Amino acid sequence: MRRLLLSALALTLATGASAQSPQSEDQKTLYAIGVLIGKQLDVFGLSPAEFAMVKQGLDDNAAGKKLAVEPEAYQPKINQLAQARMKITAEKQKEKSKAFLDQAAKEKGAQKSPSGLVYVPIHEGKGAQPKPTDTVKVHYTGTLTDGKVFDSSVKRGQPAEFPLNQVIKCWTEGVGKMKVGGKAKLVCPSAIAYGDEGRPPTIPGGATLVFEVELLDIKK
């Protein structure tokens, strides 16, 4: 965890948390800070007792008390704890995803590759097929296995363009199977997506991702 996290935590408590729902724009802004900090803490998977110890550190810092430990000295241990907890969380995510991946592989027309990618054609295109070195233009929606959307060019109303060899392996392989004008679902296990680290707070470590991708064009 960066030093910014600890500083932000202390700042949040120092502002004085309210038990009431936020009303003013300032209160809503402070509330949003708390939510974002809470999401950053998710990586630690804190138990109630552990969270209470974190809060004690917040209380002591906000009150200007003498600190029980020097945070700077514990930065390496904070990083070690984050890495260890992240690995545990990732393993749990991967275990939860097994049934989802198995079910996806049984869908009509599904193709499962050695990498673990499950490719499900929705609409076959009739245009050219991209090479890994090509830049493609696509519309896409990305969801977690529970259906929660984490990214969507469709919602933004703006197609995305990128070199096919500079994205996650799942996309390089999956979009490479498509033809212009086609649409497909790519079910991506974490090994060919964002791995054990994920992209907190949006994508948990070890998460299987689902993309619906429409290949609009191959840019020359």
Which residues form the catalytic set? Answer: 140, 150-151, 168, 194, 211
Sign of the four-CA dihedral 180, 147, 30, 8:
negative
Are residues 187 and 104 in contact, defined by beta-carbon separation less than 8 angstroms? Answer: yes
Are residues 91 and 84 in contact, defined by beta-carbon separation less than 8 angstroms? Answer: no
CA-to-CA distance for 136 and 175, rounded, in angstroms? Answer: 9
Find all residues with CB under 8 Å of 179, minimum gap 6, and list them: 124, 125, 126, 127, 128, 129, 215
Torsion of CA 207, 95, 197, 104, to 10 degrees: -30
CA-to-CA distance for 194 and 167, rounded, in angstroms? Answer: 10
